[in-house]
Amino acid sequence: METAGQKIRTKALELGFSFCGFARAGSLEQERDFFVSYLREKRNAGLHYLERDPEKRTDPRLVFEGTQTVIGLLLNYFPKEILPEKDNFIISKYAYGKDYHEVLKERTNALTLFMKEEYASARSKAFVDRGPVLEKAWARQCGLGWAGKNTLLINPKKGSFHFIAIILTDLLIEPDTAETGHCGNCSLCMDICPTGALEHPYELNPSKCVSYLTIEEKAGIPEELKDKFHDRIYGCDICQDVCPYNRLAVPHVVNDFLPSPAMKSYRKQDWLQLTEEQFESLFKGSAIHRVGYEKLMKNIFTAAANPEKNQTASV
C-alpha cells in the first residue's frame, strides 16, 4: 500500500513538478540566527518585506496552524533555446514566458486539491515566492538541494534552474533526508559576478546584484555599477551559467515558459524603440510586466549607454 508521501510525490510529478520532497515542520534555528543578524545589519537593501514577521519565516507552524509537514517542490525552467544575445539585450531565462507565480500556483492548487480528495480531513496551504516562508531553506530540508555559494538552490541531479514552491500541511508524512552542500572549493560564481555582489561564500549583497538592481531597485542604479551589466536589462543568470552543476540541466517541457515569437525576434534597436503599447503586448501576464514600462526602459538605456563595456560576460 502506498504511503501518503508516495502518493503525493507521484501526483506532484504527474502535475509536471521536477522534484518533490518532505520535511518535518519545526524551527530552523541556524537560519533564524543568520536571518536576525542579516536584518539587524540592514543587508536586505530595499527588500523591506523581509522585515515583516521574522519569527514566522523560520517556523512554518507560526504561519499555518497545525503544520506537521513541509512539502518542497521544484519546477524546471531551463530553456531548450536561449534567446539570441548577439546585438541584443539580455533577459533572465526565468522570465522568458508566463509569470512563474501563476504557473506554479495552478500546479500547487491541483496538488492540494488531490491531497484533500485523498485525505478529507487534511488541511494545507501553498506558497510560491510570497508569504513568510524561507523557500530555499525548506527545500534543502526536503532533500531537494542546497544553497550554493551564489545563494541559489542547487539540485545535485539537475542544477539550479528551478522555481520553488512550498506546501504546509497538517498531514504527518515521513521526511526525506536534508541535503548537504557540495560546492567544495569551487568559487566560479563568486569570481565571475560582474558587480562583486557575492562578497562572501553563501552571502549576497543585493544592493550590488544585477538581478536586484534591474528588478527591485526603485531609487536608480548606482553610477559605479552602470557599466557592469553586460547588456542585461531584466535579471541575471551569470552565476548560474557558470555553475558546474548546471551542466546537468535539461530543457523544461512547460509551454507557459516559452518565449513569444516577438521576443525571439527582438534586437537592440527594437528594445530601444519599445513603446508602452508594445510593452503591454509583449509582457502582459509575465514577470517582467510587474516592473513596469518605465523601469524596463531605464534598464535598457542604462545597458545601452556603454556598448563596449556591456558585452556579454563570457561563461
* Catalytic site residue from 129, 170, 256, 270: 129
- Give exposure, 179-205, as e/b (b: 16+ Cβ within 10 Å): beeebeebebbbebbbbebbeeeeebb
Rounded distance, CA 86 to CA 33, Å? 45
Instruction: Specify the residue for cell string 521526511.
Output: 175
Grid coordinates representing 76 are 524546471
Q: Examine the residue annotation and report whether 129 is marked as an active-site residue of this protein.
A: yes
Report, as residue numbers or ranges, the catalytic residues: 129
